[in-house]
């Protein structure tokens, strides 16, 4: 069975961002687009960015395609935030422990934790099974 490519070297950076929300993080890992001296134009193609910044095209394309290999969540799944994210952001201390995935668009998930709505990639959330949620409820009671 042939593998379907989601990205192509002729795709613009803007198109890559629309294809998967995680594309921004891939470019950022190569220090592209984060500051004024390493900014990229969203009208450039992936190949142009690769050539212009000396990043091997195959490496960049492989990292972009890996976005579609990540753990997937489904609308309705119960998730929690990883402890390291909660620890870094004090405002999350009052957010309920568990949230529900309410939407998925271009690789970005919307999760509602009570009144708080957060967006992120699958890697930003930890899927919770019913047993973990029940055990946490029993400890809290």
Q: What is the pLDDT of residue 77?
A: 94
Q: What is the pLDDT of residue 56?
A: 92
- Residue 76: HSE in the Cβ half-sphere, 13 Å Cα cutoff: 0
Positive or negative, the Cα torsion across 43, 48, 50, 51? negative
Contact 99, 113 (CB under 8 A): yes
* Structure confidence by residue, pLDDT tens digits, 114-128: 999 999 888 889 999
Contact 27, 33 (CB under 8 A): yes
Q: How far apart are CA 66 and CA 75, in angstroms?
A: 21
Q: How far apart are CA 141 and CA 139, in angstroms?
A: 6
Q: What is the pLDDT of residue 36?
A: 56
Per the prediction, the chain carries an average pLDDT of 84
Residue numbers in the chain where pLDDT is lower than 70: 1-3, 34-38, 131-141
Tell the residue number behind the tokens 């959330």, with chain if given: 125
Q: What is the pLDDT of residue 1?
A: 43
Query: Token pair for residue 10?
Result: 């002729």
């Amino acid at each position: 069975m042939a593998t379907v490519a989601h990205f192509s070297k002729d795709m613009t950076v803007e198109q890559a961002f629309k294809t998967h929300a995680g594309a921004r993080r891939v470019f950022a890992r190569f220090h592209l687009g984060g500051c004024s001296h390493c900014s990229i134009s969203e009208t450039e193609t992936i190949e142009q960015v690769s050539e212009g910044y000396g990043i091997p095209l195959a490496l960049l394309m492989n990292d972009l395609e890996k976005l579609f290999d990540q753990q997937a969540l489904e609308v309705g799944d119960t998730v929690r935030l990883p402890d390291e994210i909660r620890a870094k952001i004090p405002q999350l201390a009052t957010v309920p422990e568990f949230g529900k995935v309410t939407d998925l668009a271009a690789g970005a998930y919307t999760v509602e934790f009570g009144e708080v709505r957060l967006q992120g990639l699958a890697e930003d959330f930890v899927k919770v099974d019913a047993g973990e949620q029940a055990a946490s409820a029993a400890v809290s009671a």
